[in-house]
Amino acid sequence: MDTMAMMKTMSADAMPMAMDMEMMQDTMMAMNAASMAATMCSASDMRTGGEMATCAAMCSNTAMLADTGMRMMMRPMGMDAEAMRTMLAACVAMGTACAAECRQHADMDESCRYCAMACDEMVAKCRAMMDAMPA
């Protein structure tokens, strides 16, 4: 199943504001990858516990927020500019905090290393979208 091809079926006239469709698709793909990486990282952290407790909670929050952000973008008719901007800002803040936490144990834990990378990429895509939005 080619997810990128599916996304191209989203019609631009459902957008509540002028948006670069390709940029939106990139952002949604990055949100999906971050959400999956954070879910797996959180599951791995739960087994370790102790010093990984903050990481487990951060990753659980990132997983849910990134997925919610992606699905909100898949229903652009249900957004306005302010809802879009603040949702992206929340993904940037949560993804930045999560990546910083995961990076601290990236040497010992492969799922943390993936999660930090996936969060970084989501943050970069969300920032680019925010910059491209009309003021």
Contact set with a second copy (CB under 8 A): 1, 3, 5-7, 9-11, 14, 30, 32-34, 36-37, 39-40, 42-50, 52-54, 56-65, 67-68, 70-72, 74-80, 82-83, 85-87, 89-90, 92-94, 96-97, 110-111, 114, 117-118, 121
Choose between 100 and 132: whose C-beta lies nearer to a second copy.
Answer: 100
Torsion of CA 116, 114, 9, 12, to 10 degrees: 10
Beta carbon of residue 20, minimum distance to a second copy (angstroms, whole number): 18
Q: Minimum distance from CB of 116 to a second copy (Å)?
A: 11
List b or e across 95-121, with b for residues whose CB sees 16 or more CB atoms inside 10 angstroms.
Answer: bbebbebbbebbeebebbbbbbbbbbb
**Residue 73 contacts residue 27 (beta carbons within 8 Å):** yes
Beta carbon of residue 21, minimum distance to a second copy (angstroms, whole number): 13
**Minimum CB distance to a second copy, residue 104 (Å):** 14
- Whether residue 95 contacts residue 122, with contact meaning beta carbons closer than 8 Å, is answered with yes
